[in-house]
A and B are shown apart, each in its own frame.
Chain A
Amino acid sequence: MIEIKNLHKSYKMGKNSLHVLKGINFSVEEGELVAIMGSSGSGKSTLLNILGMLDELDEGSYTLDGVPIKNLNETKAAQYRNKFLGFIFQSFNLINYKSALENVALPLYYQKVGRKERQEKALKYLEQVGLKQWATHLPSELSGGQKQRVAIARAMAAEPKVLLADEPTGALDSTTSYEVMDLIQKINDQGNTILVVTHEEDIAHMCKRIVHLKDGVIVEDKKVEQVRASQYV
Chain B
Amino acid sequence: MFNKDRWKEIVEVMSSNVVRTIATAFGVGWGIFILIILLAAGKGLENGIRQDFNGVATNTIFMWTETTSMAFEGLPEGRNFNFKLEDVELLRQNIPELRILSPRNSIRLEEGDNVVRGTETGRYRVFGDYPEIIEQNPMYVTHGRFFNHNDIKEKRKVVVIGNRIRDELYNDDEEVLGTYLKISGINFMVVGIYKEKTSNGGGENSERQIFMPFTTFSQAFNRADNVGWMAITAKDGSSISNLTEKIVNTVKQSRKIHPKDERAIGYFDLYEQFNRVQSLFGALRFVAYFVGILVLISGIIGVSNIMLIVIKERTKEIGIRRALGEDPWSIRLQVLMESVFLTIMSGMIGIIFGALSIYGINTLLNAVGPVDMFLNPSVSLGVVVSALLILVVSGLLAGFLPANSAIKIRPIEALRNE
Task: Show the binding face of A for B, using Cβ within 8 Å.
Answer: 49, 52, 54-55, 74-75, 78-79, 81-83, 87, 89-91, 93-98, 106-107, 109-111, 115, 154, 158
Known: A95-B320, A109-B5, A115-B4. A78 touches B415 (CB 8 A): no
- CA distance in complex: A123, B4 (Å): 19
Which of B324, B327, B407 is in CB contact (< 8 Å) with A107?
B324
CB distance from A102 to the nearest CB of B (A): 9
Known: A89-B415, A115-B4, A115-B5. A97 touches B12 (CB 8 A): yes
SS class of chain B's interface: helix, strand, loop or mixed?
Answer: helix
Asked whether, in the complex, the Cβ of A78 is within 8 Å of the Cβ of B322, the reply is yes
Residues of chain B lying within 8 A (CB to CB) of residue A96: 317
Asked whether, in the complex, the Cβ of B325 is within 8 Å of the Cβ of A83, the reply is yes
Asked whether, in the complex, the Cβ of B324 is within 8 Å of the Cβ of A110, the reply is yes
Known: A79-B327, A110-B325, A110-B326. A54 touches B415 (CB 8 A): yes
What is the chain A residue whose CB lies nearest that of B13? A97
CB distance from B148 to the nearest CB of A (A): 76
Asked whether, in the complex, the Cβ of A54 is within 8 Å of the Cβ of B411, the reply is yes
**Can you report 13 A-B residue pairs in the complex whose CB atoms are below 8 A from each other?**
A52-B323, A75-B328, A78-B326, A81-B324, A91-B418, A93-B320, A94-B320, A97-B13, A106-B324, A107-B324, A110-B321, A110-B324, A110-B327
- CA distance in complex: A55, B12 (Å): 31
What is the chain B residue whose CB lies nearest that of A154? B324
Most A-side CB within 10 Å, residue of B321, B407, B411, B418: B411
Asked whether, in the complex, the Cβ of B4 is within 8 Å of the Cβ of A78, the reply is no
Which of A94, A98, A158 is in CB contact (< 8 Å) with B325?
A158
Residues of chain A lying within 8 A (CB to CB) of residue B418: 90-91
Starting from the known contacts A94-B320, A106-B324, A158-B324, 6 additional A-B residue pairs (CB-CB under 8 Å) come to: A78-B327, A79-B327, A81-B325, A97-B12, A106-B321, A111-B325
- CA distance in complex: A186, B316 (Å): 30
Instruction: Give me the 3 closest cross-chain CB pairs, A-B, nearest first.
Output: A82-B325, A54-B412, A110-B325
B86-106 CB mask vs A (1 if < 8 Å, else 0) is 000000000000000000000
Most A-side CB within 10 Å, residue of B321, B323, B327: B323
- CA distance in complex: A75, B412 (Å): 15
Known: A93-B316, A110-B330, A115-B5. A82 touches B412 (CB 8 A): no
- CA distance in complex: A154, B330 (Å): 20
CB of B150 within 8 A of chain A? Answer: no
- Residues of B308-348 at the interface with A, using a CB-CB cut-off of 8 Å, are 316-317, 320-330
CB distance from B244 to the nearest CB of A (A): 69
CB distance from A62 to the nearest CB of B (A): 16
CB distance from B331 to the nearest CB of A (A): 9
Asked whether, in the complex, the Cβ of B317 is within 8 Å of the Cβ of A95, the reply is yes
B246-276 CB mask vs A (1 if < 8 Å, else 0) is 0000000000000000000000000000000
Residues of chain B lying within 8 A (CB to CB) of residue A78: 322, 325-328
